[in-house]
Amino acid sequence: MEIIHLSAECYPVAKVGGLGDVVGALPKYQNKLGHFSKVVMPAYNNPFMWESEFEVVYDAWVNLGRQGFPVRILREKTNKLGFDLYLVHIAGLTDRDKVYGYADDTERFLAYQIAALDWINQWEHRPDVIHCHDHHTGLVPFMTANCERYKSLNHIPTVLTIHNAQYQGQFGWDKLHYLPAFDLWKSGLLEWRNAINPLASAIKNAWRVTTVSPSYLNELSHRANGLESLLASERGKSSGILNGIDNEVWDPKTDVMLEKCYNTRTVDSGKKANKAALCAVFNLDPTKPLFTFIGRLVGEKGADLLPDIFHNALAHSRGNINILVLGSGDPVVEGKLSELNTWFAGNYNAYIGYNEKLSHQIYAGADFLLMPSRVEPCGLNQMYALRYGTIPIVRRVGGLRDTVVDIGDGGFGICHDQTSVWDVGQAMGRAYELYKDKKRMKEILRYTMQLDHSWDRAAQQYIDTYQM
């Protein structure tokens, strides 16, 4: 099959979070199954652009209403990602330093979707599936099905994967004229709560809808940031497919970002070396258990509670634990997490910002990874942690529920039921007790490192979904 993935992120081209990881891996694994999977995404002004070689495959203009923008679609020449990569460069819109966060994000992602379809529309053949990821590509199923200009694309199945239903990309009807012409009586297929809502529109128009874990699909019926009833009514065409992880990128045996590589046999010495290096950089004590949090500092991840959770844990443990945070997001939380350093230097540190290499080093060097998420569609961090022999401490929600089994139930992680300071504190206490039992820790680490969360299974499940 020929599969086109449309997404705002794709690792290593541009990654803000887990969406980038998924779109950077899934096509590679689909190709291994004998398919022809490619990614078409916006071209940003970032290092990948400057460091790669491209050829121009499309040179035209894209219109948003009466305003025109020059478009070039660039194909990465070396196939270094393991799949064909096409970058949609729209001068004045996509070519910014960051992926998101601009006042004209609506225009940027809409122009990208239209340009991508204009290009596909003039191919001599038709792809078998167009797979859209999150709301930035959510108007594609509507446009292929209903816009006069894309009539010849309207038989191509479209699939929407919801990585996060919190973000929906709504905008006002004053921008309706940006879309290529369609019969106005079909406007309801764009609408949710009196606005144009790209995520809702994709749920209505896509041939199939998937979520990134089975539990998240269930949870969306009662918690979907206003889309609950819509998701319930479209449940018949929806399924939950648990994300995988890219075992080639995330492998402690070969990871060049680590101080020392290790496998299940050498996990003790390997983790020890990585922990020592990490603790030296962050002024922590390598003889104490190291708890960590890696992620976006937003309410969904429970990040607002972290300052209190850490303050309590550090105060109660009387210097017997270490905590290291890597994250960025809400400036208030960032400020509070930085401030803790003045009180607990030597046992606590925080790196506020985004640092891919450091994240690998932390997965390798830490003992426990905290994920007190309020919402977690799948979560990749816990799977990276497991592969690197770091025990996840997670709230039982979404994909965390589907991937982590509590040690009390014969499993390998520590689970709690609520996102609260008390619950997480209790869970950290259980982790501390486990840490003291060196033999059990070792057994668990060896076991977790062998768990198979690779994309092989999920890549096939997506193919099955396309063919249903």
Ligand X SMILES: Nc1ncnc2c1ncn2[C@@H]1O[C@H](COP(=O)(O)OP(=O)(O)O[C@H]2O[C@H](CO)[C@@H](O)[C@H](O)[C@H]2O)[C@@H](O)[C@H]1O
Q: How far is the CB of 323 from ligand X (least distance, A)?
A: 15
The interface region with ligand X, picked from 11-19, 37-45, 62-70, 73-81 by CB under 6 A, is: 11-19
User: Is residue 386 a contact point for ligand X (CB under 6 A)?
Assistant: no
Exactly one of 22, 93, 309, 323 binds ligand X (CB under 6 A); that residue is 22
Among 187, 218, 312, 328, indicate the residue that binds ligand X (CB under 6 A): 328
Q: Which is nearer to ligand X, 22 or 156 (CB)?
A: 22
Q: Which is nearer to ligand X, 201 or 215 (CB)?
A: 215
Tell me the closest approach of the beta carbon of residue 419 to ligand X, in angstroms: 14
Residue 377 binding ligand X, by CB under 6 A: yes
Q: How far is the CB of 19 from ligand X (least distance, A)?
A: 5
Q: Which stretch binds ligand X (CB under 6 A): 220-228, 320-328, 336-344, 413-421?
A: 320-328
Ranges within 395-414 binding ligand X (CB under 6 A): 399
Q: Which of 272, 296, 430, 446 binds ligand X (CB under 6 A)?
A: 296
Write out the binding residues for ligand X, residues 145-174 only, by CB under 6 A: 163-164
Q: Is 218 in the site for ligand X (CB under 6 A)?
A: no
- Position with the least CB separation from ligand X: 17
d(CA 70, CA 63): 9
Minimum distance from residue 51 beta carbon to ligand X (Å): 19
Whether residue 15 is annotated as binding a ligand: the answer is yes
Q: Which of 19, 165, 200, 386 binds ligand X (CB under 6 A)?
A: 19
Least CB distance to ligand X at residue 295 (A): 5
User: Does 209 engage in binding with ligand X (CB under 6 A)?
Assistant: no
Closest Cα to residue 380, out of 324, 461, 453?
Answer: 453
Query: Does the footprint of ligand X cover residue 18 (CB under 6 A)?
Result: yes
Choose which of 81, 130, 202, 378 interacts with ligand X (CB under 6 A): 378
Residue 17 is a binding residue for ligand X (CB under 6 A): yes
Looking at 137, 243, 274, 349, which residue binds ligand X (CB under 6 A)?
243
Dihedral in degrees, nearest 10, Cα atoms 50, 51, 52, 57: 10
Cβ density class 211-247: b for 16+ within 10 Å, e for less: bbbbbbbebbeebbebbeebbeebeeebbbbbbbbbb
Interface region with ligand X, contact rule CB under 6 A, candidates 67-75, 307-315, 352-360, 454-462? 352-360
CB under 6 A: which stretch of 33-41, 49-57, 65-73, 291-299 binds ligand X? 291-299
Among 349, 381, 419, 465, binds ligand X (CB under 6 A): 381
- The correct pick among 198, 379, 392, 413 for binding ligand X (CB under 6 A) is 379
| Residue 240 makes contact with ligand X by CB under 6 A | no
**Cα distance between residue 95 and residue 410, in whole Å:** 50
Known binding residues are 15
**Site residues, ligand X (CB under 6 A):** 17-19, 21-22, 163-164, 212, 243, 294-296, 326-328, 354-356, 359, 376-381, 399
Q: Give binding residues for ADP-alpha-D-glucose as ranges.
A: 15
